[in-house]
A and B are shown apart, each in its own frame.
Chain A
Amino acid sequence: MKTYVVRRLLALVPVALVVATVAFVLIHLAPGDPASVIAGPDASRDDVQRIEKQLGLDAPLPLQLVRWYGRLVQGDLGQSIFLRKPVTDAILDRVEPTLLLTLFAMAVSVAIGVPAGVLSARYHNTATDQAVMVVALLGVSIPNFLLGLLFVLFFSVWLGWFPVAGYSPLEYGWLKTLRSLVLPAFALGLVQSALIARIARSSMLDILREQFITAGRAKGLSERAVIYKHALKNAMIPTVTIIGISFAILISGAVVVETVFNIPGLGRLIISAVLRRDYPVIQGVVLCIAGLYMLINLAVDLSYLIFDPRVKYQ
């Protein structure tokens, strides 16, 4: 098992290398000379040269790449051009709302998705099942930002239950924070719960066809015991994978939903950086999210070791 963990960690290295290279290439993809693109059309020669120096764009390309890897290994993401502070600081300033929103949305999606999927599988091919599945298909058809806008319209504009937009940081009390995140978290989480419900249902259905379920029923176990003790436990394996992947999907979804609700998180940070051509910030946020994504996928794979003792890794 230990060798498996080590092997998985080593397998991350080439992927991380490609990720870092893609982030590096971003700045050179823009047509024309990167420094003048960043400086904008009305910048002076001096400005362009200053940026060129600051970003080390005057060095030959291979050297730039090597320096880039070197800095990343040390956790240095460079300086923001517009905010005039280290990119890592800019990211840390904005990470709280994004992380809280993601966790809240995660709770929503699991709390709704898993029971809906299990219910649907238990009452397979009945009206309950079909109703859940139609709602779930509708759910996967609504983009999260649209659902967010509709929530604002119904719950904030028409009913006045929640603030239209904005975020209250934790330091002003967690209840206020929670209230400011209810609509965004549901907008984000409901879409994902539709996906989780579909997966929970099909993995439940797969398990219910297994022989040990028939055996359980044959020895006279109650349907409750069969479903909740024997089937659910086994059906959770694929579901946990999806819950893990969901976290990654939700983080990137948060990037979009933040715009709907004007939440000052990583999403607003990267979008404003794109509009200002603040490439170090764009690279930093992209790397940060991709890194998180990779670690979560690793954690999901390793979690099999706990959830499924049958899985043995050499």
Chain B
Amino acid sequence: MSVLALPGRATAVRRAGPGWLALLSRRKTTMAGAVIMTLMVTVGLLAPLIGGDPAHMEVAGRLAAPGRVHWFGTDDVGRDVWSRVVYGARLSLLVGLSVVVLAIASGVVCGTIAGYYRRLDNIVMRIMDGLMAFPAIVLAIALMAALGPSVVNVIVSIAVVYSPRVARVVRGSVLVIRETAYVEAARALGAADLTLIARHVLPNCLSPVIVQASFVFAAAVLTEAALSFLGVGVPPYVPSWGVILAEGRLYIQQAPWLVLYPGAAIMITIFGLNLFGDGLRDLLDPKIRGLATERQRAA
């Protein structure tokens, strides 16, 4: 589009162009990611319908190999692994979504405060730096040690670990946006700080935040599985992929299906999230494609 295009025409062009959903579906890998995610959400939501009672024990049929009755076999106390994996999807979904909501909300608040009110920047960001000086899993373990094992505490711990990372991204965007001409114009018109932030600054930070959300979701699912695998995550009676793997580790010689099925579930889920996240990022954040994102992924 030429620079000289009239504003009216520009809007017309935009309206005629494909919507973001259409853009997202252009890439096959992104679509594959979306399909995997939809599958996971469906399985998680329909868990009570497609799976049996994950806590029901049949001690007589313990460590049974996968077959017609028990698709994924049974574990050491005769619980159906299929039902447990299906309910595990539900837990991962719950943890992933809750962590995203919590981490994004607190990250956006802290990041906006740091970016917008320059006097508070130093103190807020030093605290965030301090939290980020801990490797993610180590801080999560430590917080779980303090809070005690429960699903809510797992969510809170992981959210605390990831919100500084969100805050840093938001602060970066706010710093740029607050210097733009339109924010200055709005301020000249007498807009209050809160109006400025809510109407002009935050909506323009949305893209990087959405990209972050996809990273945080994948990280939350992984961290929950790791914590539960280590025995410091959800209590052992909650069906979680990590818990099933931890139990399966003890019977890996007699009953490899205890490791293979929940393992495949984790892998496929994270793979789908990564595919979808990559597509989302390329669409929403064309500027940070390449190196910067890889670094973000590493952090």
**Contacts from A to B (Cβ < 8 Å):** 14-19, 21-23, 26-27, 29-31, 137-138, 140-143, 145-146, 149-150, 152-153, 157, 164, 195, 198-199, 202-203, 205-206, 238, 241-242, 245-246, 248-249, 251-253, 255-256, 259-260, 270-271, 273-275, 277, 279, 282-283, 285-286, 289-290, 293-294
Residues A146 and B245 in contact in the complex (CB < 8 Å), given A195-B298, A249-B298, A259-B229: yes
Q: Is the interface of A mostly helix, strand, loop or mixed?
A: helix
B residues less than 8 Å from A138 (CB atoms) = 267, 271
Judge whether B133 and A242 touch: CB under 8 Å: no
Please tell me if B166 contacts chain A, counting CB pairs below 8 Å. Answer: no
A residues less than 8 Å from B134 (CB atoms) = 19, 22, 286, 289-290, 293
Q: How far is the CB of A246 from chain B (nearest CB, A)?
A: 8
| B67-81 interface code vs A (CB 8 A; 1 in, 0 out) | 000000000000000
A residues less than 8 Å from B248 (CB atoms) = 149
Q: How far is the CB of A232 from chain B (nearest CB, A)?
A: 16
B residues less than 8 Å from A143 (CB atoms) = 222, 225-226, 266, 270
Contact of B145 among A26, A153, A164, A249 (CB under 8 A): A26
Please tell me if B28 contacts chain A, counting CB pairs below 8 Å. Answer: no
A residues less than 8 Å from B129 (CB atoms) = 14-15, 18
Judge whether A17 and B271 touch: CB under 8 Å: no
Alpha-carbon gap, A282 to B146, bound state (A): 10
Judge whether A29 and B147 touch: CB under 8 Å: yes
Within 8 A of A (CB), among B129-154: 129-131, 133-139, 141-148
Q: How far is the CB of A229 from chain B (nearest CB, A)?
A: 21
B residues less than 8 Å from A157 (CB atoms) = 252-253, 256
Residues A286 and B138 in contact in the complex (CB < 8 Å), given A142-B267, A274-B144: yes
Judge whether B232 and A21 touch: CB under 8 Å: no
| B30-72 interface code vs A (CB 8 A; 1 in, 0 out) | 0000000000000000000000000000000000000000000
A residues less than 8 Å from B192 (CB atoms) = none
Alpha-carbon gap, A255 to B139, bound state (A): 12
Judge whether B274 and A141 touch: CB under 8 Å: yes
Contact of B297 among A195, A259, A289 (CB under 8 A): A195
B residues less than 8 Å from A27 (CB atoms) = 146
Stretch at the interface among B8-16, B108-116, B201-209, B288-296: B288-296
Contact of A260 among B126, B249, B256 (CB under 8 A): B249
Task: Offer 28 A-B interface pairs, CB within 8 angstroms, sorted by A.
Answer: A14-B126, A15-B126, A19-B133, A27-B146, A137-B278, A138-B267, A142-B267, A149-B248, A149-B263, A150-B259, A152-B252, A164-B252, A199-B291, A199-B298, A202-B290, A202-B294, A242-B298, A251-B135, A252-B135, A255-B138, A256-B226, A259-B230, A260-B249, A271-B230, A275-B231, A286-B141, A290-B133, A293-B134
Please tell me if B159 contacts chain A, counting CB pairs below 8 Å. Answer: no
Alpha-carbon gap, A14 to B225, bound state (A): 33
Q: How far is the CB of A262 from chain B (nearest CB, A)?
A: 10
Judge whether B259 and A153 touch: CB under 8 Å: yes
Residues A198 and B294 in contact in the complex (CB < 8 Å), given A141-B271, A157-B253, A289-B138: yes
Contact of A141 among B126, B139, B145, B267 (CB under 8 A): B267
Query: Which residue of A has the minimal Cβ distance to B275?
Result: A137
A residues less than 8 Å from B231 (CB atoms) = 271, 275
Q: How far is the CB of B65 from chain A (nearest CB, A)?
A: 15
Q: Is the interface of B mostly helix, strand, loop or mixed?
A: helix
Sorting the interface of chain B by its residue count into under 10, 10 to 19, 20 to 34 or 35 or more gives: 35 or more
Please tell me if B127 contacts chain A, counting CB pairs below 8 Å. Answer: yes
B residues less than 8 Å from A270 (CB atoms) = 138, 141-142
Identify the 8 closest CB pairs spanning chains A and B, nearest first: A18-B130, A252-B135, A29-B146, A141-B271, A274-B145, A141-B270, A202-B290, A199-B294
Q: How far is the CB of A48 from chain B (nearest CB, A)?
A: 18
Q: How far is the CB of B217 from chain A (nearest CB, A)?
A: 13
Alpha-carbon gap, A271 to B140, bound state (A): 12
Alpha-carbon gap, A293 to B133, bound state (A): 7
Please tell me if B299 contacts chain A, counting CB pairs below 8 Å. Answer: yes
B residues less than 8 Å from A252 (CB atoms) = 135-138
Alpha-carbon gap, A14 to B132, bound state (A): 13
Alpha-carbon gap, A286 to B134, bound state (A): 8
Judge whether A137 and B271 touch: CB under 8 Å: yes
Alpha-carbon gap, A187 to B139, bound state (A): 22
Alpha-carbon gap, A248 to B299, bound state (A): 10
Query: Which residue of B has the minimal Cβ distance to A283?
Result: B142
Judge whether A149 and B249 touch: CB under 8 Å: yes
Judge whether B139 and A286 touch: CB under 8 Å: yes
Judge whether B252 and A149 touch: CB under 8 Å: yes
Within 8 A of A (CB), among B150-205: none
Q: How far is the CB of B188 from chain A (nearest CB, A)?
A: 35
Judge whether B266 and A146 touch: CB under 8 Å: yes
Contact of B232 among A17, A260, A274 (CB under 8 A): A274
Alpha-carbon gap, A142 to B142, bound state (A): 23
Q: How far is the CB of B101 from chain A (nearest CB, A)?
A: 22
B residues less than 8 Å from A16 (CB atoms) = 133
A residues less than 8 Å from B229 (CB atoms) = 145, 256, 259
